[in-house]
Amino acid sequence: MSLEILTFSFMHRAIISGIAIAILCSVIGLFLVLRRYSLFGDAIAHSSFGGIALGLMAGVYPLWTAYGVSLVSALVITKIKEKYDISGDASIAVLLSSGIAVGLVIVGISGGFTIDIFSFLFGSILLVSVNETILILFLTGIILIVVLLFYRQLLYSTFNEEQAKVSGIPVEKINYLIVFMAGLTVVTSIQLVGVLLISALFVIPNVTAIMYGKGFKQTAILSISFSIFSVVVGILVSYIFNITPAGTIVLLSIGLFAVTMGIKSSGLLSIKN
Amino acid sequence: MLNIVEIDHLTVKYPDVKALDDVSFTVKKGDFLGIIGPNGAGKSTLFASMLGLNTKYQGTIKFFGEDIKKSKDYLKEIGYVPQKPIFEKNFPATVNDVVRMGLRKESDENKIDEILQQLWIHESSKRRIGELSGGQQQRVFIAKALVNNPKILILDEPVTGIDQQSIDLFYSILRELNSKQKITIIWSSHDLDAVNQLANHVACLNRTLFFHGESDEFFDNDELVKQYSEASMQEHMHRH
């Protein structure tokens, strides 16, 4: 049984998609965490709930509408934050509650579509289709290429906006770029862990990796490794024990975080904070 | 000699106060200009305007003969060291990472190593920036500012909160950059003695510019030094 599962084509798709999403969430999540935007992924995911409900009601593939709603929400909230000087956490709270509110109203108007909604709320990585896998790989490739192309600008504006501006970096445009990529990443990742747990993939592997006291690239590599481990092992374990993949993946991430804290407390690693 | 910075009738108004009022001065190539003034004198506003961070001003600011509102190209020739660089304490960036952030183009490793050695921080190149002392961090930010071979170095009260030993090292580095590498330096400071020792020009600012000229001319004039000291003291008493 345990080796047999590796021969299933749905499992191949799940693992390939899962690895792509793990890489994507770690990379984009690292920038968000360092910008004190840890819950931004959560807020976009919640706003995408409104988009999913809209798609289900209109009979359109729900992730397309989720992409649209999430991207618009992310850009609008960034603009509002910029223009009205609203703090990051307050703008996230506005975005988060708006998405859920819109989704709930649409679900209510439509008389409910519980099964579909549940798969988006909690993820359904084992059900990912060939086309969805191709889309996930395509978007992952595009986003990673953009990150590599704008690596210095993204890193510098995350480190210190004022100095980045003086260095000639168009910081406002880079800020829009990061929220745009975060929006795409969140909706792409919904199939793995669902709307409710998405921020765990953005935050936990990165917070764990940061504790190891390494430089930026090494921290990113550590985070990606932790994330891939949690996703692959989580998918396999959840299938073998017939439990939810999303919850298992997130619990494994939390486990790695706890182990790292244990190592740090024991003094086995000279982690300086 | 060529004026590489020209500030002409610069005025910056905030809703209830004029932060800068009709300030004009020039900086020539190779100058070491110390800008002195009490807290709230407008030094940071002046720098923010010069660096394009504040665009709401009246008057003109020219670098290399060109109005900075027309082009941002001048920023390529400037290295900037802020008063106290703000960054997340646990930011996962090593000294090397931070210096590389300043690079406009991929430079060779030797250049970065050379600058790190020159500033006595090469041994810390793989340590996280947050682990270093305030003085070491400031040297890292100078290294970052120097990595593109700037023609002008702008420093905004760069030794605030740094121990005396680091300050002395910092000043000797500035002196060398100006005298040997011919980098023009514009530096704001509260430390009159240091300005007297290092700068060859002084601008005395307290929202308006009440002196700009050669350093000796300022420090040899007891009346000017007294005026500055009184302005600083009044500001100090006003704040306490």
Comparing alpha-carbon positions, the chain B residue that sits nearest to A157 is B101
Rounded to whole angstroms, the Cα distance separating B210 from B50 reads: 19
Q: Evaluate whether residue A273 is within a structural domain.
A: no
In a domain, A181, yes or no: yes
Mean pLDDT of chain B, nearest integer: 85
Nearest to B5 by CA among B53, B52, B99, B74: B74
Q: Does the residue A191 lie in any domain?
A: yes
When divided into structural domains, chain A yields a total of 1
- Written as one letter, the residue type at A124 is S
What the block records as the tokens of A55 is 């798609």
CA distance A29 to A41: 8
Q: Decide: helix, strand or coil at residue B67.
A: strand
Give the per-residue pLDDT at A112.
65
Residues of B whose CB is below 8 A from A166: 51-53, 75, 78, 80
Please give the structure tokens belonging to residue A207.
């917070």
Residues of B with CB under 8 A from a CB of A: 51-53, 72, 75-76, 78, 80, 82, 85-94, 96-98, 100-104, 126, 128, 131
Q: Is residue B178 within a helix (H) or strand (E), and if so which, with residue range?
A: helix B164-179
Reading the block at residue A188, the tokens are 């792409």
Q: Smallest Cα–Cα separation from A256: which of A223, A221, A213?
A: A223
Per-residue pLDDT tens over the stretch B131-168: 888 888 888 888 888 888 889 999 988 877 777 877 88
Domain coverage including residue A117: 4-266
Give the predicted TM-score (pTM) of the model: 0.85
Is A218 within the bounds of a domain? yes
- Tokens matching residue B82: 């802020």
Q: How far apart, in Å, are the Cα atoms of B221 and each of A12, B23, B112, B224, B226? A: 82, 22, 43, 5, 9
In this complex, do A34 and B91 lie within 8 Å of one another by their Cβ atoms?
yes
pLDDT single digits (tens) A134-154: 999 999 999 999 999 999 999
Of B104 and A150, the one with more pLDDT = A150
Strands (E), chain B: 3-14, 17-28, 32-36, 58-63, 66-67, 78-81, 152-156, 184-189, 201-206, 208-214
Q: Which residue of A has its CA nearest to B79?
A: A167
State which residues form the domain around B94.
3-239
**Which two tokens mark B55?**
């665009």
pLDDT of residue B240: 44
Question: Residue A109 belongs to a domain with what CATH number?
Answer: 1.10.3470.10
Name the phi and psi angles at B231, rounded to 5: -60, -40
Sheet of B3-14: strand order equals B17-28, B3-14, B58-63, B66-67
Please report the ipTM that was assigned to this predicted complex. 0.81
